[in-house]
Amino acid sequence: MQFTAAQIAMMINGTVEGNTDAAVASFGKIEEAHEGQLAFLANPKYEEYLYRTKATIIIINESQELKQKIEATLIKVPDAYSAFATLLDKYQQIQRQQLTGIQQPVYIAATAKIGEQVFIGAFTYIGENVVVADGVKIYPNSYLGDNVTVGENTILHPGVRIYHDCVVGKNVSIHAGTVIGSDGFGFAPQSDGTLKKVPQIGNVIIEDGVEIGANATIDRATIGSTLIKAGAKLDNLLQIAHNVEIGNNSVIAAQTGISGSTKIGNNVMIGGQVGIVGHLKIADGTRINAQSGVSKSIKNPNSAVTGSPAFDYTAALRSQAASRNLPNLEKRVFELEKILKEMMEKANL
């Protein structure tokens, strides 16, 4: 597919400087792009490539000051990074619209309801009373258990497993190998030292616009629902335990584990390898630094914490600075002790 500068500018509400008929068929990084490709510049560190790239079209910020003549056609926008993301999204949508039909072999229960413009890849299993809405794309080797609902234009990448009774909203993207609705980790200690499994009879609800990375696991609730609210973005290799709630537009990086019944607020940012104890509440806008261990609720909105156990980010930096000075402080204490001893000896004390 080819697009002209004029067409691209219309998609991202940009202004063309140069040849409006200049056409591109693919994308390239600004430092590597060649003729017939589109690139973008958002990071000032890459400005030098703006003047020597071979890209045919470049998306740049309106505020970008040009220091040399540029051969490429420019499309100016308020935010080049966001505009490029919008363009890639539209490009993906066009590609996905062309992907429809049901490959073979698949299993689709007689009671399942399949919408229009759907793609179902080979070796997929779709159970009883499943609802697959219009525009859904299900890639090969996926599993949808009984009574699962998948909303419009959602994408399930290869090998996604969604257990029975779970609900997935519209415009959701779930990447390869992720498991939705596996049993929560619930066991009741017995008097003889054994552990009795607590049946997990709830489900998982994933609201609209959520993205979940590869090989993540989201456990079903013991009772009620594990809830991922609209707009949340979850990275690869996460463990979300039973009855957890993730707030709107919260972002969680890879290898984070959230224990059961913890409630994460809206617009929370959690770094990689964070561990969060169960039954906590994390306030809206909280930022948790990578590798932190959170053992207490964070009640103040827009807090920033770090460390294990996690505490106030600014205070943690001061503590780190103080700890780096300990060798010098120790030396000064020894010197003061020596001076004090000499003074006491002179005073015959």
Q: Residue 209 pLDDT > 80, yes or no?
A: yes
**pLDDT tens-digit profile of 261-311?**
999 999 999 999 999 999 999 999 999 999 999 999 999 999 999 988 876
CATH class of 3-97: alpha beta
Residues 155 and 170: beta-carbon distance below 8 Å: no
User: What is the gyration radius of the CA atoms in the chain, in angstroms?
Assistant: 28
**pLDDT tens-digit profile of 18-62?**
999 999 999 999 999 999 999 999 999 999 999 999 999 999 999
Rounded to an integer, the average pLDDT of 186-194 is 96
Position 131 scores a pLDDT of 98
Catalytic residue among 34, 175, 242, 279: 242
Residues 248 and 226: beta-carbon distance below 8 Å: no
According to CATH, the topology of domain 160-309 is UDP N-Acetylglucosamine Acyltransferase; domain 1 (2.160.10)
* Helical packing angle, 5-12 and 80-97, nearest 10°: 110
Residues 271 and 252: beta-carbon distance below 8 Å: no
Of 147-156, 177-186, 237-246, 336-345, which gets the smallest average pLDDT?
336-345
Residue 181, Ramachandran bin (φ over 0: left; ψ between -120 and 50: alpha; else beta): left
What is the pTM assigned to this prediction? Answer: 0.82
Average pLDDT, the chain: 94
Domain locations in the chain as residue ranges = 3-97, 160-309, 321-346
| CA atoms of 202 and 205, how far apart (whole Å) | 10
Position 146 scores a pLDDT of 98
242 catalytically annotated: yes
Residues 131 and 151: beta-carbon distance below 8 Å: no
Position 311 scores a pLDDT of 66
Task: Give the residue among 292, 41, 290, 206 at the shortest CA–CA distance from 280.
Answer: 292
Strand order in the sheet with 239-240: 107-108, 125-126, 143-144, 161-162, 179-182, 217-219, 239-240, 257-258, 275-276, 293-294
Position 335 scores a pLDDT of 87
Query: Exposed/middle/buried for 37, CB within 10 Å: 0-12, 13-18, 19+?
Result: buried
Q: In three state form, how does the secondary structure of 1-62 look?
A: CCEEHHHHHHHHCCEEECCCCCEECEECCCCCCCCCEEEEECCHHHHHHHCCCCCCEEEEEC
Rounded to an integer, the average pLDDT of 116-136 is 97
Distances in whole angstroms, Cα of residue 282 to Cα of each of 51, 178, 267, 276, 306: 47, 25, 11, 10, 14
